[in-house]
Structure 1
């Protein structure tokens, strides 16, 4: 029972069976098309029932997102859309998770990995130990950081326009190494909202925003400290890269 709607288990079973039938053969259908099929099968679709049917099927691993069609999301059978993979043991899975994390987030601490992964401290330590021969350790401000061997190149001196919720900030429990704590409220708030920020030489130094008028993109930039302000050359280059990215999309 959810939101005042009582849906018996046998109805969920009928829905799951129907979804398996109508989506079979690598088909993708929209919610509206699903609703038509439910009606044809005599399954109630009033209120928010269809959303509950789909949510239950997703939770049970029957359906997943399909390819968007005409700007609308679709659903597909997960067994047809997701390629089969070899089942991993817990140790293998932990090692793979640690490898993927530190190859894309180095340098990072044990606390960062726990924060990002949701693992227990013991599990995180085991995962790090499993790939220890690929990690380099370093001490910085009384903390131990791990760096994957593939991530030892120096940080460039160009500016990057990072979007809201970028992994550069959101993936770490302690963000003080790249952002002065006094400026935290300018990068994210206590309710978990993150803002677009400027990255320069490894540090977050300001905010940026864009506005599109009559097809033209206007970019506004602000710096946290006067000393953080950079020359127009690197800033203009960053704007040009962003504009090119938008055009290619």
Structure 2
């Protein structure tokens, strides 16, 4: 029978699984973090980078850039058509699970943009010719390539071409230059890949999600990976021997048995963290009500425009937002709490704020 737990316990376990609070105390690298969480949303390069940095204390943006340049971490769009950072060796088999449904769901948008199969095939051939042999193209250079073969990249067409070719496993974002990356051929850039398919791939996907995000529900997993409920249920059933079922509010939550053991004995967190916008701690779930009150959701996504602001997290709860400003003298961070922070919380937030400034500027 599933053990009943409260919301505070779910958040305590999530902080641990996310490695926002590290239960082992072992120092983590940015590569270690991607292997733990499996995939972290990264459409904003700096915010996505800090999602890794906040979980790998002492790391720098230069550590992420080195991992990207080495092809150890890769940035692509394997889930929901959104950019993620993930271990390079995992990308191909994940696309094998998620891309067919994602591509099929893009057919209407593809027609709206006037991109038929003949145009996409032409883009594919030109892309291979331009990139093969270890070459790389920055975004603007790639758009110029599209223009040279009479494909207009304006009005989001160029981005959709990149997205489509990434979904089909032809390209990914490779070497970094500042906060930008160049496009490369996936088969040339990533030399080693795990070979998983079918039920084995569904099992691995479920296990990795619930390990890095648990406790979470079946619907959370299906939404995150953009799977049908039937496929998500199959993956969960195949991974169940390595998972623990918990119950909250009449619903089943699943977490890694190993992660439950790691977090055992740890008290509820009183720490304060400056998490980035788009962080998996909030966006990794379809139900976001446990860490965030509904009345404050509009403060996280002003104007409901899809842009999630950086978050202040205290004791597992989202209690405010923060903004960064970058000037020649460095980075400044300004908090905007939903209510008054205590003196202790203000001091604790300052530590995380300073850690972000070091990560960004070093």
Give me the TM-score of the superposition, normalised by structure 2: 0.56
- Alignment match of 2:226 (pick from 94, 110, 118): 118
Q: Which residue of 2 aligns with 1:135?
A: 243
Q: Which residue of 2 aligns with 1:223?
A: 337
Q: Which of structures 1 and 2 has the bigger CA Rg?
A: 1
Deviation at residue 146 of structure 1 after TM alignment: 1.2
Greater fraction of residues in helix: 2
Residues of 2 paired with 1:20 and 1:67: CA distance? 17
Task: Tell me if 1:75 matches 2:183.
Answer: yes
Task: Tell me if 1:197 matches 2:305.
Answer: no
| Structure 1 residues 116-195: aligned runs within 5 Å | 116-152=224-260, 153=263, 154=266, 156-189=269-302, 190-195=304-309
Q: 1:59 to 1:216 in 2, by over 3 A?
A: closer
Q: 1:60 to 1:179 in 2, by over 3 A?
A: closer
Any unmatched runs of 5+ in structure 2? Answer: 1-109
In 2, are the aligned partners of 1:15 and 1:53 still within 8 Å (CA)? no
**CA RMSD across the alignment:** 3.4
In 1, are the aligned partners of 2:152 and 2:158 still within 8 Å (CA)? no
If asked which structure has higher relative contact order (CA below 8 Å, sep 6+), I would say 2
In 1, are the aligned partners of 2:146 and 2:158 still within 8 Å (CA)? no
Q: Counterpart of 1:88 in 2: which secondary structure?
A: coil
Task: Tell me if 1:238 matches 2:346.
Answer: no
Q: 1:129 to 1:234 in 2, by over 3 A?
A: same
Residues of 1 paired with 2:232 and 2:117: CA distance? 40
